[in-house]
């Protein structure tokens, strides 16, 4: 944004922003805004890092990035999942350089200081007698595990999770994601700003033209009266086997001190059991879902994490901000913990709908970025079917200010 003064230019930009309209091009193209996104939005909120089944044993770890920050997410000796800043307390090298693995101890590649799994400093070579090892543990990063989902916050004082935790427990509890395991994950690099990717996820206005496969299964397109009837049938079917999944709508600004969460349900078309190529079962039923209820539970969690629960599998959507005009999308498929590939489920059938959907999304997000880069881009109005994207954009403007 040049030298005029970031705050002043940012104020002008906000004043220009028309309510109910797509964001100004600076929000997708300006490096200074991207730094604000990282500092004020992504670093302030909780982010999904992955599923706990990725690191089942003590010493199992993976690295989790947010711009210049990197956390080592590790299962410690006591079985608890912890996160440490991957910055050596000696002179600042990365300590762990493999993206995932199993370690008994983390040894810095520079001068070989050694850290325990709980982050405490175990040894510093040739240190003086009076060197206080206890003062040089890896810095802790906030981490919480809820229903098997690992969340990380790089904030000094993280947002409260009371509302979000209630929503996740009540809405994902019936599927017992805490006992699930990762069947597959895919990473899609995207030549587009992370918010274009999130906005695209949040609206299904594009589903009919871009996602014929998805649109054959999920009832988001029909006249409202038909959707109401399908939703009512879904709720009644779930109730018949004792499952009640409430709506949780706490999409609030972080100034209120709590993480934003929005959980709701919607129906699949009549006769469609789950998100499989032909609508038929793709994996064993999960948790307390004793039958197919003809519905989907979906959760928006903070700025960049989204979850979709079908009776027989789950899908995690994690948006990763890289630079102002590059991002990535990680999609993770969950199945019941004891489900065996090739016996209880076919991986291709399990992953087909969201793979083909994510590949199409990557293309349309990249075309969107290319158009937004042009000086001919002028933010147009969100349509009624884009109400969640519209709400997200308004919420984002409050967060980034």
Does 43 contact ligand FES by CB under 6 A? no
The single-letter DSSP state of residue 269 is P
User: Which one of residues 90, 122, 133, 184 is an interface residue with ligand FES (CB under 6 A)?
Assistant: 90
| Cβ–Cβ < 8 Å for 183, 277 | no
> Token pair 């300006």 is at which residue?
30
**In the complex, least distance from residue 265 CB atom to Fe ion, rounded to whole angstroms:** 19
Q: Which H helix or E strand runs over 197?
A: helix 194-202
Secondary structure (3-state) at 316:
strand
What are the tokens at 221? 């397109």
Residue 353 buriedness (CB in 10 A; 0-12 / 13-18 / 19+): buried
> Token pair 């075309």 is at which residue?
367
What are the tokens at 289? 């879902």
Does 386 contact Fe ion by CB under 5 A? no
Does 34 contact ligand FES by CB under 6 A? no
Return the number of the residue (147 or 361) whose C-beta is nearest Fe ion: 361
Return the number of the residue (56 or 209) whose C-beta is nearest Fe ion: 209
User: Which one of residues 24, 60, 312, 361 is an interface residue with Fe ion (CB under 5 A)?
Assistant: 361
Does 159 contact ligand FES by CB under 6 A? no
**In the complex, least distance from residue 238 CB atom to Fe ion, rounded to whole angstroms:** 26
| Cβ–Cβ < 8 Å for 63, 99 | yes
d(CA 261, CA 258) in angstroms, rounded, equals 9
**In the complex, least distance from residue 118 CB atom to ligand FES, rounded to whole angstroms:** 18
**In the complex, least distance from residue 389 CB atom to Fe ion, rounded to whole angstroms:** 11
Total residues interacting with ligand FES, rule: CB under 6 A: 10
Q: Residue 107, Cα to own-chain centre: how many angstroms? A: 30
What are the tokens at 237? 């079917």
Return the number of the residue (75 or 195) whose C-beta is nearest Fe ion: 195
Does 199 contact Fe ion by CB under 5 A? no
By CB under 5 A, the residues from 74 to 93 that bind Fe ion are: none
| Cβ–Cβ < 8 Å for 163, 259 | yes
Single out the segment in contact with Fe ion by CB under 5 A; choices: 49-57, 103-111, 355-363, 386-394.
Answer: 355-363
The dihedrals phi and psi of 87, each to the nearest 5 degrees, come to: -140, 120
DSSP string, 49-111: EEEGGGS-STTEEEEEEETTEEEEEEE-TTS-EEEEES--TTT---S--SSEEE-SSEE-TTT
What are the tokens at 292? 């197919």
Does 197 contact ligand FES by CB under 6 A? no
**In the complex, least distance from residue 211 CB atom to Fe ion, rounded to whole angstroms:** 6
User: Which one of residues 28, 34, 113, 396 is an interface residue with ligand FES (CB under 6 A)?
Assistant: 113
User: Which one of residues 81, 103, 108, 321 is an interface residue with ligand FES (CB under 6 A)?
Assistant: 108
Q: Which does 361 bind (CB under 5 to 8 A by kind): ligand FES, Fe ion, none?
A: Fe ion
Residue nearest to Fe ion (CB): 361
Does 203 contact Fe ion by CB under 5 A? no
Nearest to 46 by CA among 147, 161, 166, 178: 161
What are the tokens at 200? 């695209």
Does 115 contact ligand FES by CB under 6 A? no
**In the complex, least distance from residue 210 CB atom to Fe ion, rounded to whole angstroms:** 6
**In the complex, least distance from residue 125 CB atom to ligand FES, rounded to whole angstroms:** 8
Return the number of the residue (37 or 203) whose C-beta is nearest Fe ion: 203
Single out the segment in contact with Fe ion by CB under 5 A; choices: 292-300, 317-325, 341-349, 360-368.
Answer: 360-368
d(CA 84, CA 76) in angstroms, rounded, equals 11
Total residues interacting with Fe ion, rule: CB under 5 A: 1
Does 24 contact Fe ion by CB under 5 A? no
Q: Residue numbers of the site for Fe ion (CB under 5 A)?
A: 361
Q: Residue numbers of the site for ligand FES (CB under 6 A)?
A: 88, 90-93, 108, 110-113
């Amino acid at each position: 944004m040049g030298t005029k003064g970031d705050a002043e230019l940012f104020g002008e930009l906000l004043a220009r922003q028309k309510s109910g309209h797509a964001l100004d091009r600076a929000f997708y193209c300006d490096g200074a805004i991207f730094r604000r996104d990282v500092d004020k939005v992504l670093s302030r909120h909780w982010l999904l890092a992955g599923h706990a089944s990725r690191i089942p044993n003590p010493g199992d770890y993976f690295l989790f990035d947010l711009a210049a920050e990197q956390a080592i997410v590790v299962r410690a000796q006591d079985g608890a999942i912890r996160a440490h800043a991957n910055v050596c307390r000696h002179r600042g090298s990365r300590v762990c350089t493999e993206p995932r693995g199993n370690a008994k101890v983390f040894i810095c590649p520079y001068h070989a200081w050694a850290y325990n799994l709980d982050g405490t400093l175990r040894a510093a070579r040739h240190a003086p007698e009076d060197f206080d090892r206890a003062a040089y543990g890896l810095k802790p990063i906030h981490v919480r595990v809820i229903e098997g989902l690992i969340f990380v916050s790089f904030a000094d004082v993280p947002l409260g999770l009371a509302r979000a935790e209630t929503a996740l427990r009540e809405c994902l509890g019936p599927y017992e994601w805490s006992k699930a395991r990762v069947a597959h994950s895919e990473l899609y690099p995207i030549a587009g700003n992370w918010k274009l990717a999130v906005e695209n996820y949040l609206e299904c206005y594009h589903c009919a033209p871009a996602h014929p496969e998805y649109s054959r299964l999920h009832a988001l397109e029909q006249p409202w009266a038909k959707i109401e009837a399908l939703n009512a049938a879904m709720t009644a079917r779930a109730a018949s086997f004792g499952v009640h999944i409430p709506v949780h709508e706490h999409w609030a600004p972080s100034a209120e001190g709590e993480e934003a969460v929005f959980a709701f349900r919607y129906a699949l078309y009549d006769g469609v059991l789950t998100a499989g190529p032909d609508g038929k079962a793709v994996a064993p039923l999960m948790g307390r879902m004793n039958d197919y209820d003809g519905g989907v539970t979906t959760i928006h969690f903070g700025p960049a994490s989204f979850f979709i629960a079908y009776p027989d599998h789950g899908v995690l959507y994690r948006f990763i901000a890289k630079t102002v005009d590059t991002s990535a999308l990680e999609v993770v498929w969950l199945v019941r913990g004891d489900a065996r590939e090739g016996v209880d489920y076919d991986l291709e059938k399990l992953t087909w709908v969201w793979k083909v959907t994510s590949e199409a999304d990557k293309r349309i997000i990249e075309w969107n970025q290319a158009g937004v880069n042009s000086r001919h881009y002028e933010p147009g109005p969100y349509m009624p079917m884009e109400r969640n994207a519209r709400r997200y954009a308004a919420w984002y403007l409050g967060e980034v200010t």
